[in-house]
């Protein structure tokens, strides 16, 4: 197994990269890819940058250039459900792009032509193991749809629309594009998100993002140890 680990921001990956032994860094398309050994497994870790395009670039490079055969996307997210509060954990059963919209052409919201999918399925085994690791933190864990889009959701009306339209439990800006790349390349993936904010107007992100990111890293490390 060669595992790719992708995060959008430095705070979501720095503590993990420090634990990679024999680390070698290669820069491709402006993204630094750190290869080495983590908990006895070959890994490639990268901070892709914020948004779906950077995330897709990173995922495809990991697969094509570095040959990863599993991908974990880790980081923080806003909650879309009252079942998840700050520092609780969302694990993907699937992912959707909530801002992909060609409804004017007769398609349902979120449907991606060429895939003929709205919900891109995550790997069931990876999702189950990651959920078990998350439960060891003592936080509440939900498995469900992760919604991604090129917007930082900080609006209660938008939050409600995404949750209602897609049945999603958390929202962020990268996971579903990574899911799409992995799906077309037949590479199993899973998304982990620790809740950093309520996806509303309270602006909690800056307060809780560092702790949420650190918790996500701890969960991923446990996952790699047990995979």
**pLDDT digits over 170-197, tens only?**
999 999 999 999 999 999 999 999 999 9
- How many angstroms separate the Cα of 34 from the Cα of each of 14, 31, 38, 47? 11, 10, 11, 9
For the annotated catalytic residues, the residue numbers are 12, 197
Q: How many CA atoms lie within 13 A of 107 on its CB side?
A: 14
Q: What is the mean pLDDT of residues 104-108?
A: 94
Q: Which residue in 40, 4, 7, 15 sits closest to 175, CA to CA?
A: 7
- Is a pLDDT exceeding 90 seen at residue 89? yes
- Is a pLDDT exceeding 90 seen at residue 154? yes
Output b/e per residue, 104-117; b: 16+ Cβ within 10 A: eeeeebbbbeeeeb
What's the pLDDT band for 201 if we cut at 50, 70, 90? confident
- Is a pLDDT exceeding 90 seen at residue 158? yes
- Which residues does residue 107 pair with via DSSP β-bridges, in sequence order? none
d(CA 116, CA 107): 10
Tell me the pTM.
0.97
- Give the pairing of strands 76-79 and 31-38: unpaired
Q: What is the mean pLDDT of residues 111-128?
A: 97
What's the pLDDT band for 66 if we cut at 50, 70, 90? very high
pLDDT score of 79: 97
Task: Report the topology of domain 2-226.
Answer: Rossmann fold (3.40.50)
What's the pLDDT band for 203 if we cut at 50, 70, 90? confident
Q: What is the mean pLDDT of the chain?
A: 97
Q: Do 119 and 145 contact (CB within 8 A), yes or no?
A: yes
DSSP 12: G
DSSP 103: G
pLDDT score of 94: 98
d(CA 46, CA 59): 9
């Amino acid at each position: 197994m060669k595992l790719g680990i992708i995060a959008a921001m430095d705070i979501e990956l720095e503590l993990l990269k420090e634990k990679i032994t024999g680390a070698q860094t290669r820069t491709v398309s402006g993204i630094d890819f750190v290869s080495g050994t983590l908990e006895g497994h070959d890994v490639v870790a990268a901070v892709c940058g914020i948004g779906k395009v950077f995330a897709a670039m990173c995922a495809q490079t990991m697969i094509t250039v570095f040959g990863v055969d599993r991908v974990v996307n880790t980081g923080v997210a806003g909650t879309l459900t009252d079942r998840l509060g700050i520092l609780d954990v969302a694990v993907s059963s699937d992912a959707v792009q909530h801002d992909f919209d060609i409804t004017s052409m007769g398609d349902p919201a979120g449907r991606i032509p060429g895939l003929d999918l709205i919900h891109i399925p995550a790997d069931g085994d990876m999702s189950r193991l990651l959920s078990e690791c998350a439960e060891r933190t003592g936080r509440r864990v939900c498995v469900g749809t992760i919604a991604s889009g090129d917007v930082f959701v900080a609006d209660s009306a938008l939050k409600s629309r995404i949750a209602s339209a897609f049945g999603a439990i958390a929202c962020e800006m990268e996971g579903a594009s990574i899911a799409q790349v992995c799906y077309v390349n037949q590479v199993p993936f899973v998304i982990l998100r620790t809740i950093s904010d309520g996806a509303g107007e309270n602006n909690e992100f800056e307060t809780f993002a560092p702790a949420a990111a650190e918790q996500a890293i701890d969960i991923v490390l446990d996952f790699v140890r047990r995979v």
